[in-house]
Each structure stands twice: as C-alpha cells, then as structure tokens.
C-alpha cells in the first residue's frame, strides 16, 4: 500500500513479565517473561506492516545492544533507519497481572546531544522529500537531552516537508507537540484533560475537549478511553466507538495498535465508520495478549461485528463530513 515513516526517539528493550498478582516487598513468582525489542515506534511499525504498508523506522538506538532491533526489523520487514549512538538502549520492565493491571518500570534512555538531534532531523526531512511518505508518525517519550522544544522543532521541520505528521506522546512533550499543530494526535483521557484545563467527568465533557483539540488545528483529534472506547473528531465528522468485551491480559501496545490502524484507515481512504471500527477492534484484540493487535486473528471478524461505531454530530470546523 503506502510508505509510512515512523520515528521513535526513545526506544526500549521490554522485559515483559506475567504474574498472578504483584506483591510489593515480597518474592513474586512469574508465569512467564520475555525480553524483546519494543517501544511505541516499533509497535506502530509492526501493525502498519501487518496491514500491508511499507514502513521505515527511524530514531535513536544504542549501538552496544541493537541486535534485537535489527532482528525484529528483519523479521517483520521493516526498514531500519535508526541513528546509532554510543551506549545501550534502555530496558523497561512491564509487570502484567491477571486482573489486567500493568506496572511499568521505565528507564530514562540514552543521552542525546543537540548534534545528534540535528543529524536525525536532517535525515528525516531528506527522506520525506525523497520518498514522500503517506505520513510520519512521531511517537514515544523523550530521551535525556531531547527537550519538548526540540520535539516541537522536529515536528515543525517535518510539517514543512509537506508530509502529514501524527504524534503520540505525553506530558510536556505532548504540550509542546500540540502547540505546533500536528495533523493528528491521540491523547488518553488524562492527557487531554491536562491540555483542556479540567477533568473530563462525563461523555459530554470528553466530546467537547476533543472538539476543542480539533478546532485548535489538529485535523485528526483522537481520544483513547481504554475499555470505554474511542472518540474521533475530524473533517469526516464526530464519531464514538465502543469496543467488544474481551478478557484483558495486557494493555501494552493497545494504544499503538489503535493509532496505527486508524492511520491505515485514513491512508486507505476508508469510510470513518470502517476505519474506526477496524482500529477499535484491533486494539481490543491486542489487550488479549502481549504485543500488538493481529488483524489476521481467527476471530477478528467477530470482534469487528461486536464493535459499535456511532456518530456524535458534525465537527465544528474542518469542512463537511
């Protein structure tokens, strides 16, 4: 299908641990553990590839322990264009309990210099001009040395190349990113509440905040509500999706799955109902296991049928739905 450039500034090796229940201060016995290349960027790239797209993954990697990432990209058919820096990529521990609760213990990441950021920015802009990808996805946290202002400058440079920019980050990085108006953003409820300046106490408040985000200039305003579904406001209208009920095993990767699948729907020019239904169902498929959603799961058609999508109304800006 299309070519997508995915950028992850602070990737990680994920140590995923499944256990019945975490007992702090005690000896805990695990059911399983798995160490693998991970991070939001790799998650997004894997979903996009599974949906038929050609993906280039860029960002920063520690040169001393990049083998898992090299192998993951080769296995999944992802072009590896990450800039190698001296040192090691961080290791994050993710403790998943039987009740669905996940505890993340994340490392800070490898130190990034201004020179490295400038080199990466120049390379990304050159790739955009040379290959005209359908979109650039900038996702994940910021490593030490990369400021929110630096992220905003990167997004501004990518936008200037004429390629749509989708972002998924949090905290001050999200605030800085939203200030330069990316084409799409996917905050969760707390992140959007922080941006909106107050709690989103009911569905009406949630919809109003997403409308405001869209009205500010973010074309694809997406609110992820976990098990309560998704709100999406764009020029296509205002839509709410409710996912099917599934057994939640691990929520890590569900948000990345949602973002990637919705981007797929936009690139493929699907109807908003079809795009949001597929993205929501695929995110629900993801929470049933460790990893991202699998569009080839045997019961995926059933999950699609069990996913409800309804129209909330007309978007206030951005043209006709």
Residue 304 pLDDT exceeds 70: yes
Q: CA 320 to CA 240: how far, in whole Å?
A: 18
Residues 155 and 243 in one domain: no
Residues 147 and 243 in one domain: no
Given this model, what pLDDT does residue 313 score?
Answer: 61
Helix (H) or strand (E) holding 312: strand 308-313
Phi, psi of 253 (to 5 degrees): 100, -15
Given this model, what pLDDT does residue 14 score?
Answer: 83
Residues 203 and 281 in one domain: yes
Residues 6+ apart with CB under 8 A from 281: 243, 244, 300, 303, 304, 306, 307
Residues 157 and 218 in one domain: no
- Extract the runs of DSSP E, i.e. beta strands, from 152-211: 165-168, 184-185
Residues 123 and 246 in one domain: no
Residues 209 and 148 in one domain: no
Q: Is 256 among the catalytic positions?
A: yes
Note whether residue 270 is domain-resident: yes
The per-residue pLDDT for range 84-133, each reduced to its tens digit, is 999 999 988 889 899 878 898 988 889 999 999 999 999 999 999 999 99
Domain count of the fold of the chain = 2
Place of tokens 């040169």: 63
Residues 72 and 157 in one domain: yes
Residues 139 and 283 in one domain: no
* Of the residues 108, 132, 167, the one at which a domain ends: 167
Q: How many CA atoms lie within 13 A of 105 on its CB side?
A: 8
Parent domain of 118: 1-167
Residue 209 pLDDT exceeds 90: yes
Residue 320 pLDDT exceeds 70: no
Residue 319 pLDDT exceeds 70: no
Residues 153 and 9 in one domain: yes
Note whether residue 78 is domain-resident: yes
Catalytic position from the list 14, 168, 183, 256: 256
Task: Assign 36 a pLDDT band (cuts: 50, 70, 90).
Answer: confident
* Of the residues 122, 140, 167, the one at which a domain ends: 167
Note whether residue 218 is domain-resident: yes
Counting residues of the chain whose pLDDT is more than 70, the rounded percentage is 97
Residues 238 and 142 in one domain: no
Rounded to 10 degrees, the C-alpha dihedral 69/72/74/75 comes to 170
Note whether residue 173 is domain-resident: no
The per-residue pLDDT for range 247-298, each reduced to its tens digit, is 988 788 899 999 999 999 999 999 999 999 999 999 999 999 888 999 999 9
Residues 260 and 115 in one domain: no
CB-based contact 37:69 (threshold 8 Å): yes
Given this model, what pLDDT does residue 15 score?
Answer: 83
* Angle, vertex CA 273, rays to CA 289 and CA 212, nearest 5: 95
Task: Assign 316 a pLDDT band (cuts: 50, 70, 90).
Answer: very low
Whichever domain contains 153, its CATH number is 3.40.1190.20
Residue 314 pLDDT exceeds 60: no
Given this model, what pLDDT does residue 317 score?
Answer: 33
Tokens, residue 159? 């936008």
Note whether residue 172 is domain-resident: no
Mean pLDDT, residues 145-171 taken together: 97
Note whether residue 225 is domain-resident: yes
Stated pTM of the model: 0.89
DSSP state of 318: S
Residues 148 and 81 in one domain: yes
The per-residue pLDDT for range 62-91, each reduced to its tens digit, is 999 999 999 999 999 999 999 999 999 998
Q: CA 72 to CA 81: how far, in whole Å?
A: 13
Note whether residue 4 is domain-resident: yes
The per-residue pLDDT for range 20-31, each reduced to its tens digit, is 999 999 999 999
Q: Give the number of other CB atoms < 10 A from CB of residue 31.
A: 10
Task: Assign 1 a pLDDT band (cuts: 50, 70, 90).
Answer: confident
* Of the residues 167, 191, 220, the one at which a domain ends: 167
């Amino acid at each position: 299908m299309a070519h997508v450039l995915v950028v992850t500034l602070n990737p990680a090796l994920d140590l995923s641990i499944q256990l019945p229940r975490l007992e702090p201060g005690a000896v805990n016995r695990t059911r399983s553990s798995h160490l693998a290349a991970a991070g939001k960027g790799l998650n997004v790239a894997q979903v996009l590839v599974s949906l038929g797209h050609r993906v280039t993954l860029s960002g920063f990697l520690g040169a001393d322990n990049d083998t898992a990432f090299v192998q993951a990209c080769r296995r999944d058919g992802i072009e590896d264009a990450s800039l190698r820096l001296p040192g090691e990529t961080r290791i994050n521990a993710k403790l998943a309990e039987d009740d669905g609760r996940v505890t993340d213990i994340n490392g800070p990441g490898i130190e990034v210099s201004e020179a490295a950021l400038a080199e990466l920015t120049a390379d990304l802009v050159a790739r955009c001009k040379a290959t005209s990808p359908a979109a650039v996805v900038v996702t994940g946290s910021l490593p030490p040395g990369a400021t929110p202002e630096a992220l905003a400058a990167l997004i501004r440079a990518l936008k200037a190349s004429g390629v749509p920019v989708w972002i998924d980050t949090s905290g001050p990085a999200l605030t800085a990113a939203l200030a330069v108006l990316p084409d799409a953003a996917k905050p969760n409820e707390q992140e959007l509440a922080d941006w909106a300046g107050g709690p989103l106490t009911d569905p009406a408040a949630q919809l109003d905040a997403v409308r405001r985000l869209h009205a500010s200039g973010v074309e694809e305003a997406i609110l992820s509500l976990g098990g309560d579904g998704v709100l999406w406001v764009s020029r296509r209208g205002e839509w709410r999706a409710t996912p099917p009920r599934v057994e939640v095993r691990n929520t890590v990767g569900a948000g990345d799955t949602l973002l990637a699948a919705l981007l797929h729907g936009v690139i493929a020019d699907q109807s908003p109902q079809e795009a949001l239904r597929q993205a929501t169902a695929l995110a629900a498929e993801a929470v049933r296991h460790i990893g991202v959603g699998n569009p080839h799961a045997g019961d995926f058609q059933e999950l699609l049928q069990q996913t409800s999508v309804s129209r909330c109304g007309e978007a206030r800006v951005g043209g006709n739905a």
